[in-house]
Amino acid sequence: MISFIPSPDQSVWFIGPFPLRAYALFIVIGIFVAIKWGQKRWMAQGGEAEDIINVAMFAVPAGIIGGRLYHVISDWQIYFGDNGRGFVAALRIWDGGLGIWGAIALGFLGSWYAAKKYNFSIRLLADALAPGVALAQAIGRFGNYFNQELFGAPSTLPWALEIDLAFRPDGYETFETFHPTFLYESLWCLAVAGLLVYLERRFKLGQGQVFALYVGFYTLGRVWIEMLRIDTANLILGIRLNVFTALIVGLMSLMWFIRSKRSTQNLQ
């Protein structure tokens, strides 16, 4: 009986001369699901399905660029430090490495630009997209599983993740199984998506409140998941940079939610 999650045999398949990479595949599937769910929610508000496609044309490329920029900047030494991988490697998105903070930031800016261009309410648009974005993250994290990356500390739990020796960090060569942080974050994002839909209906949320809750709930989970990870990261006061980023972004989302809630109450 297997008492751990086995590592995948490969992360790339070839269709003739063309490589099909699991990391890219799961990101594309996540984007597709987010768009389809976003269309359904937007149409329920009286919009058109093609509106979300128009927004995605700006938001998706901006999000991917932002995610890569954050990763490269926050882990610059991987590419530009001593014995770094170099500039070309920094462009190889398919090898893994998209920082969610940069993806959210530039993806939101892309959505904001599209909202202005097509005369949409950015708050209503963000609310319509929020659950789908959380679900897309839940799907996308499986790319990390196939790349055998971003796992947590050693663990012997029944759901611990087997990691091949070639992917274990220095100092952890003797350990075989680790916390599957990809799975923790995937399940967390799945729960966030469901919770957003429930709270939206239960409390009749709107005007950007659903998106603010998405950001807040995600950062809450990301803090404890980030603390489990053992991959190389820049530290501030001995704490991983992404923990501080999550806390700051989480506080900003809370302030946004409170402000939006008060504005809505004043209009009633």
pLDDT tens digits for 98-115? 888 899 899 999 999 999
- Give the Å distances, CA to CA, from 59 to 33, 214, 225: 15, 17, 26
- Can you give the pLDDT at residue 75? 80
How far apart are the C-alpha atoms of 34 and 218, rounded to whole Å? 16
- Can you give the pLDDT at residue 2? 64
Residue 4 lies in a domain: no
Report whether pLDDT(246) > 90.
yes
Report whether pLDDT(117) > 90.
yes
Range name among 7-11, 43-47, 88-92, 116-120 with the lowest pLDDT average: 88-92
Residue 35 lies in a domain: yes
Range name among 81-95, 116-130, 161-175, 241-255 with the lowest pLDDT average: 81-95
Mean pLDDT across 248-255: 95
**257 with 213: CB under 8 angstroms?**
yes
pTM, whole model, 2 decimals?
0.92
Range name among 43-52, 63-72, 158-167, 180-189 with the lowest pLDDT average: 63-72
Residue 25 lies in a domain: yes
How far apart are the C-alpha atoms of 106 and 109, rounded to whole Å? 5
Residue type, 141: R
Mean pLDDT across 198-211: 94
For residue 261, name the pLDDT band (cuts at 50, 70, 90).
confident
The total number of structural domains that make up the chain: 1
Residue 2 lies in a domain: no
Report whether pLDDT(254) > 90.
yes
Residue 3 lies in a domain: no
- Residue 188's CB: how many other CB atoms inside 10 A? 21
- Can you give the pLDDT at residue 265? 62
- Can you give the pLDDT at residue 84? 74
Q: Who has greater pLDDT, 268 or 70?
A: 70
- Can you give the pLDDT at residue 128? 97
The per-residue pLDDT of the chain, averaged, comes to 92
Residue 116 lies in a domain: yes
Q: What is the DSSP string of the chain?
A: ---SBPPPS-SEEEETTEEEEHHHHHHHHHHHHHHHHHHHHHHHTT--HHHHHHHHHHHHHHHHHHHHHHHHHHTHHHHHSTT---HHHHT-GGGS---HHHHHHHHHHHHHHHHHHHT--HHHHHHHHHHHHHHHHHHHTHHHHHHT-S-BSB--STTPEE--GGGSPTT-TT--EE--HHHHHHHHHHHHHHHHHHHHHHHT--TTHHHHHHHHHHHHHHHHHHHHB-S---EETTEEHHHHHHHHHHHHHHHHHHHHHHHHHHH-
How far apart are the C-alpha atoms of 159 and 177, rounded to whole Å? 9
Structural domain containing residue 153: 12-267
- Can you give the pLDDT at residue 81? 75
Residue 18, strand partner residues = 15
- Can you give the pLDDT at residue 20? 93
For residue 73, name the pLDDT band (cuts at 50, 70, 90).
confident
- Can you give the pLDDT at residue 87? 79
Percent of all residues in the chain with a pLDDT value above 70, rounded to a whole number: 96
- Can you give the pLDDT at residue 62? 95
